[in-house]
Structure 1
């Protein structure tokens, strides 16, 4: 039973990571080229929150109950994008520090005197 649940969760995660647009975009932001787009991607949280607000107003006005699921989905996606901004800044800082250290090591290796044996 545990194995079945584990396999189902792995396949669900794979499907969501591969085909859902927000996950595809967040994976693209996590690449080296995409890290600079983390802060502008935070702005995508605004339309998601607006859509959640619209659904809540529809529910309050007597709309169908399944809109609660959309509210949860919209808020979840808004949180993903809002969190990705600061995370991408930390990742970008870490990558740039590694690149800077690699350049310094390379420069030191180029300026070492050659000792004849």
Structure 2
């Protein structure tokens, strides 16, 4: 039983990693050229939060309760989008500091 759950979770993760829009955006933002788009990507948290809210309204008005899984995915994606902004700013600062330090290190050799 444990093996079946492990395999199912691996396949679900692979599907989510490859096809979910938030994961695709995060992969693009995590590149050196995409780090500058992190704060802009934070704005995508709002549509995910609105979608989660609207789905809870649908559920409370008699909709199917399996939609709570979609609400969970929307909220998780919103949290990822909120988190990508500060992390990308820190990473771009670190990358620029290391790029400035490289010429200085090469001059001293």
User: For residues 65-97 of structure 1, what are the alpha-carbon distances to aligned partners after superposition, in whole Å with 9 as ceiling and x for unaligned?
Assistant: 122111111101000100111111111111111
**TM-score (norm. length: structure 2):** 0.84
In structure 2, the CA distance between the partners of 1:26 and 1:4, relative to structure 1 (3 Å rule), is same
- Give the length in aligned residue pairs: 109
Alignment correspondent of 2:36? 36
**TM-score (norm. length: structure 1):** 0.79
Rounded Cα–Cα distance in structure 2 between residues aligned with 1:4 and 1:104: 54
Q: What are the ranges of 5 or more consecutive residues in structure 2 without an aligned counterpart? A: none
Rounded Cα–Cα distance in structure 2 between residues aligned with 1:77 and 1:54: 15
Alignment correspondent of 2:51? 51
Greater Rg over alpha carbons, structure: 1
Secondary structure of the corresponding residue to residue 98 of structure 1 = helix
Counterparts of 1:52-91 in structure 2, within 5 Å, are 52-91=52-91
User: For residues 7-62 of structure 1, what are the alpha-carbon distances to aligned partners after superposition, in whole Å with 9 as ceiling and x for unaligned?
Assistant: 66555444432332221110110000000000000000000000111011111212
Q: What are the ranges of 5 or more consecutive residues in structure 1 without an aligned counterpart? A: 110-117
RMSD: 2.2
Bigger proportion of residues as helix: 2
Rounded Cα–Cα distance in structure 2 between residues aligned with 1:27 and 1:38: 11
Secondary structure of the corresponding residue to residue 100 of structure 2 = helix
